[in-house]
Structure 1
Amino acid sequence: MKNLMVRRSLIGTVLTLLILGSGYALMEKLGSRVPEVRQMSFQESKKAVRVTPVEYKTRELALSSMGRVIPERATDLMAEVQGEMLPGDVPLKPGQRFGEGQVLFRIDDREAKLALYAQKSDFMTTLAGILPDLKLDYPEAYPAWQAYFESLQVDTPLPPLPEITQPAEKVFLSSRNILSQFYTLRSNEERLTKYVVKAPFSGSILEVLQDLSSIVSPGTRVARISRSARMELEVPIAREDLDFLPRGTQVDVYSEDGNQRWTGQVTRIGAAMDPATQSINVYVSFQPGRTPVFEGQYLRMQVPGSRLRDVMEIPRNAIVNRNDLYVVNDSNRLRIARGRIEKV
């Protein structure tokens, strides 16, 4: 039993020494190996870019901006007398075109006419009552007043009074209310003309607020009309560009597709800046002519600006940091250079 234990111990010791020796030999072999260095090759990368040759020339700046068409003259039609609305020469409908002087609508004036006729009749009665006194006291003025009386008609406009040459004659006429009645009649005749509403210009109806056969009172808005002979283009312009657009500047107005062109003139410049866009409205007056132009339509305004000499136009994507730009030098290498750049 004792010999068996000694043999096992001897075998374990021998195996341990063999393992340690093998590990040491393997470590020496691996440590003496020189690692192989792989040689890497580098190839220069090249990119193709689009370039434009530098060419300085004289360039004319053209200021261009879109604007909205508005009527140059828009008028609200309001009733100045009371009565029933009656039709005129053209239909009172939005979009209806009319000519200057055409009757847009009427107001029933039968009652007003009859009242005026009654006042004229009273005036003729008063005048007839003073003719005998005029013949006696002012014989030199009597023929003129007699002829005036005979010319009066209740359904015709009141003619002017005869010339009053003597102060005493004027006092006599005033004391009999001749002058007061005359001017009251002239006022009522003028008021009677307000029952017929005529177009002050050629244009079109933008909006109708009252229907025919309705009863209107003084101050009632009936319709809104605009002048079609001339229109205005409301164009927002940046503050720094206003120097190119003084009042009276001739400009070109184009349709959005560029097929139509009109000549316009700057008539007004706004006095307030739009806080949202930081722009100021400029108003251009132009005459559409036979080409129809509608309120709210967008058109483009263009005006020639100043001339810049020895300049070159470059695309915005070639600009870096506002004042730098990409250039290609003589060795075909791309680099960044600084230049004087102006936004146009």
Structure 2
Amino acid sequence: MAFGMMRPLLLVSALGLPLLGQAATTGDIRVQLSAQRYTVLSSEIAGKVTDIAVKEGEHFKQGDTLVTFDCTVLREKLNYSNAAENAARKKLAIADRLDKLNSISLSDVDQARSSVSMAQAESGVNRAMLQRCVIKAPFSGRVTETKVKRWESVPEGKELLAIYDDSAFELEMIVPSRWLVWLRQGSAFQVVLDETGLSYPAEISRLSSAIDPVSQSVKVFGRITQSTAGLLPGMSGVAQIVPPDVGSVSP
């Protein structure tokens, strides 16, 4: 069998799902818990990290400052461009007064206006760059990994923190494609997580748009419908999905 044909079978095995011929008639399927929102924050500028406000495992709120860079140079650039913008505005004011007295050419007035526009644009760029000196949390959640150290000089694009939203989790599982006869979005089931030993009510939230032709399986996603406090991404367990007719899913 070609390697490309083996990949779906390997994926099913890795998730702990029996192959099609071994599927349990009870509807028990291995399931993995993942965060709906997960991202790795990266540096938008090259610079020195002066502060990391959160450690691995700690919680944070949306909008909290997570990482701060030394932006002395960028701050001075903004001060310089602001001063240049003020100077350009003063020159334009003088040019406008002279224009009313017919003591200046129209081209000189246009040049003064252009100088103000250019200075405004430069100040805007420097202001935007300065805002990148602070990395703020895009959502509330927890830190899974810190990838840099304080006082470390990093290049643009360097990965800084891996974070996730701990308020919304998703269940991922692979089921026999024949179950699509009765499995629907909103179908209720129970999931028992290995790490907690507890059972949680859940429901199917969405179905994959394609069936794997080799394993005759389909990826299915669900969500826990009660509080997910204390749960962590990466937890796994068994989804107990009861079909309307157990015999219809027999191998």
One of 139, 151, 175 as aligned partner of 1:237: 175
Q: Distance in 2 between matches of 1:94 and 1:287?
A: 27
Residue in 2 that maps onto 1:222: 160
One of 187, 193, 196 as aligned partner of 2:125: 187
- 1:228 to 1:268, Cα distance in 2 relative to 1, 3 A: farther
Please show how residues 30-41 of structure 1 align to structure 2 within 5 Å.
none
C-alpha contact 1:253 1:299 (8 A) present in aligned 2:
no
Q: Distance in 2 between matches of 1:71 and 1:214?
A: 29
**Post-superposition offset of 1:303:** 4.5
Amino acid of the residue matched to residue 282 of structure 1? V
Amino acid of the residue matched to residue 102 of structure 1? D
Q: Distance in 1 between matches of 2:141 and 2:175?
A: 29
Does residue 74 of the first structure (1) align with residue 38 of the second (2)? Answer: yes
Residue in 2 that maps onto 1:252: 189
Q: Distance in 2 between matches of 1:274 and 1:208?
A: 40
Does residue 106 of the first structure (1) align with residue 68 of the second (2)? Answer: yes
- 1:174 to 1:299, Cα distance in 2 relative to 1, 3 A: farther
Q: Deviations over 1:215-238 (max 9, x none)?
A: 011111112111111111111111
Residue in 1 that maps onto 2:18: none
C-alpha contact 1:209 1:222 (8 A) present in aligned 2:
yes
C-alpha contact 1:274 1:280 (8 A) present in aligned 2:
no
Residue in 2 that maps onto 1:273: 212
Please show how residues 15-30 of structure 1 align to structure 2 within 5 Å.
none
Amino acid of the residue matched to residue 192 of structure 1? L
Residue in 1 that maps onto 2:4: none
Residue in 1 that maps onto 2:20: none
Q: Deviations over 1:104-163 (max 9, x none)?
A: 111111111011101111111111112122234369xxxxxxxxxxxxxxxxxxxxxxxx
In our comparison, the structure showing a higher alpha carbon Rg is 1
Give the structure-2-normalised TM-score: 0.74
**Post-superposition offset of 1:302:** 4.0
SS of the residue corresponding to residue 255 of structure 1 reads strand
Q: Distance in 2 between matches of 1:216 and 1:228?
A: 28
Amino acid of the residue matched to residue 77 of structure 2? A
Does residue 124 of the first structure (1) align with residue 86 of the second (2)? Answer: yes
**Post-superposition offset of 1:287:** 6.1
Identity %: 19
Does residue 289 of the first structure (1) align with residue 251 of the second (2)? Answer: no
Give the structure-1-normalised TM-score: 0.56
Amino acid of the residue matched to residue 269 of structure 1? S
Aligned length: 219
Q: Distance in 2 between matches of 1:264 and 1:138?
A: 74
Q: Distance in 2 between matches of 1:250 and 1:198?
A: 38
Residue in 1 that maps onto 2:19: none
